[in-house]
Amino acid sequence: MTKLIVFNQVSLDGFISDANGDMSWAHRDDAEWNAFTAENAQRDAMLLFGRVTYEMMAGFWPTPFALQNLPAVANRMNSAPKVVFSRTLESASWNNTRLVKSGIAGEVREMKKKGGPQMVLMGSASIVAQLAEEGLVDEFQIVVNPIVLGGGKSMFAGVKKRLNLKPTGTRAFGNGNRLLTYETVA
């Protein structure tokens, strides 16, 4: 069965974006962090997004700026198979993207059964909450950034049941970020 991983950056107070939807605070470049993101991008994975994250990613990764300044990540982001979940998008024009308009949990359940590369869900707080609530997330990779936003969007807003998690790894970066990895426990 294909594994579903959630990879998100959060503030120390647990938000994936501030109250205005801004995520620029999550880009704390340094050589070690950039090497990690380039290596991480090379995984064989299908990328999953909600509409807002999809539009942000599709608006950045195909640009000349991204291709010139972050070529390893940009090339992988542009070539990877992608699924965007949205009730409002009419089409998904970013290379290798399939649009799913309804039945998110059922679609992910079927994708997991089919096998293939792991799936990585980034951003997309409401999708994370829906899939976590359905028990479809296998692993959370959470990058805690050393910043307090004082409010914003939580990726777990709407989760009504307890999620039992087992810590499986940590990594500290020189820029202050901390990667925390958890597996879900049934």
Element (H, E) at 83: strand 82-85
| Contact between residue 121 and residue 6 where contact means Cβ atoms under 8 Å apart | yes
pLDDT at site 85: 97
Q: Which domain holds residue 166?
A: 4-184
pLDDT at site 67: 94
Look up residue 65 and give its DSSP letter: H
Question: What is the total count of domains within the chain?
Answer: 1
pLDDT at site 35: 87
One pLDDT digit (tens) per residue for the chain, 186 residues:
899 999 999 999 999 999 998 888 987 778 898 888 888 887 889 999 999 999 999 999 999 999 998 898 999 999 999 999 999 999 999 999 999 999 999 999 999 999 888 999 998 999 999 999 999 999 999 999 999 999 999 999 989 999 999 999 999 999 999 999 999 997
Q: Which two tokens stand for residue 33?
A: 């962090």
pLDDT at site 37: 85
pLDDT at site 180: 98
In this prediction the pTM is 0.93
If DSSP codes are grouped into helix, strand and coil, which group holds residue 74?
Answer: helix
5 phi and psi angles, rounded to 5 deg: -115, 135
Q: Which two tokens stand for residue 171?
A: 């990594």
In this structure, what CATH number is given to the domain that contains residue 88? 3.40.430.10
| Contact between residue 103 and residue 141 where contact means Cβ atoms under 8 Å apart | no
Q: Please give the Cα distance from 129 to 160 (Å, whole number).
A: 9
Q: Please give the Cα distance from 30 to 17 (Å, whole number).
A: 21
pLDDT at site 7: 96
pLDDT at site 41: 80
pLDDT at site 76: 92
CA–centroid distance for 131 within its chain: 13
Give the Cβ contact number of residue 21 at 10 Å.
11
